[in-house]
Amino acid sequence: MLPFSRFVACAFLSAGLLSAGTSSALSGQARFLMDAQTGKVLESDHADELNYPASLTKMMTLYLTFEALHQGRLGWDQKVVMSENANNKEPFKFAVGAGRTVTVREAVLGMVVLSANDAAVLMGETLGGSEAGFGVLMTQKAHQLGMSKTVFRNPAGLPDPEQVTTAEDMAKLGLALMRDYPEEFKLFSNRTITFRGMKLRGHNGVLNAYPGASGIKTGYTDASGYNLVTSVDRAGHHLVGVVLGGKSAHERDADMMAMMDRHLPAVLPAGPAATKAPSSKTVAVETTKPKT
């Protein structure tokens, strides 16, 4: 039997989504793994069933931000005024205060490393006029990228019963980010940022601990469970994996690493060196600027 929160969510799924032939049942736990170079599916478990994306949503907000940067509609050093709506988003945020400004670069790195909700909403409002307007743009882009079962309603991934995706769709989005914006994608490997003199650390455990991991995004809400999309590049093998609905961050991370281990060659010797996490990588938001 579905938990009550998921039963309620099923009841509120949009009629348009249902009429498109998708199931309203939320899978809870799902995984998907594919070869980023060949497109071959290596593992799939409930990968086409609906679930909540949580902060994985920011991957699409970032995709559309990168698109706007490449098209000249935004600039990396452009200052954007924080709205009261954006400033009120909890729990992870810059908290600069309504009426103050952040640069597009700061907003991008805030989303990438800190999963900052205020930064995501700010960029959504800037590009779409409102959260709802940006949700329409996000969903349109998702369908253009082949994410046929995904519906977005807000740019941060905060709870909304109509904002749904699948593990397979999230893998497609990860691949699209790598393919379409390879320079910007390198930002996902950052583990910490320095924001206006403060060193702030991200919370992607797999990025910190797994050899070859290059990003990309974590997510969590009570309804979604613990979500993760991970890119790993090791010994000529480049994989993209998705885990949705983990019961804890530790379980989610362990599931991801075990799934990767089943398809990647070991590259470290046995012993303490094999489990040593790579050193922390810090980027100062005042100076980092990918090529566009």
Supply 23's token pair. 């199931």
Give pLDDT, residue 267. 55
Here the CATH number for the domain that contains residue 129 is 3.40.710.10
Q: How many domains does the chain have?
A: 1
10 falls within a domain: no
Give pLDDT, residue 27. 61
205 falls within a domain: yes
Supply 221's token pair. 């809400």
203 falls within a domain: yes
* 184-229 pLDDT tens trace: 999 999 998 888 888 888 889 999 899 999 999 999 999 999 999 9
In a 10 Å sphere around its CB, with 0-12 CB exposed, 13-18 middle and 19+ buried, how is residue 199 labelled? exposed
Give pLDDT, residue 94. 82
pLDDT at 142 over 50: yes
pLDDT at 164 over 60: yes
68 falls within a domain: yes
Give me the DSSP letters along 180-239.
H-HHHHGGGG--EEEETTEEEE---HHHHHSTTEEEEEEEEETTTEEEEEEEEEETTEEE
What number is the average pLDDT over the span 178-185? 97
**C-alpha neighbours within 13 Å on the C-beta side of residue 163:** 26
Give pLDDT, residue 198. 84
* Alpha-carbon gap, residue 151 to 154, rounded angstroms: 10
7 falls within a domain: no
Three-state SS at 261: helix
pLDDT at 80 over 90: yes
13 falls within a domain: no
pTM score of the predicted model? 0.84
Confidence category of residue 283, pLDDT binned at 50, 70, 90: very low
38 falls within a domain: yes
Give pLDDT, residue 196. 83
**89 φ/ψ angles, rounded to the nearest 5 degrees:** -75, 130
Query: Which domain covers residue 121, as residue numbers?
Result: 23-265+280-284
18 falls within a domain: no
Of the chain, the percentage scoring pLDDT greater than 90 comes to 73
* 217-275 pLDDT tens trace: 999 999 999 999 999 999 899 999 999 999 999 999 999 999 999 999 875 444 343 33
* Alpha-carbon gap, residue 73 to 216, rounded angstroms: 25
User: Other CB atoms closer than 10 Å to residue 273's CB: what's the count?
Assistant: 8
**C-alpha neighbours within 13 Å on the C-beta side of residue 198:** 11
pLDDT at 82 over 80: yes
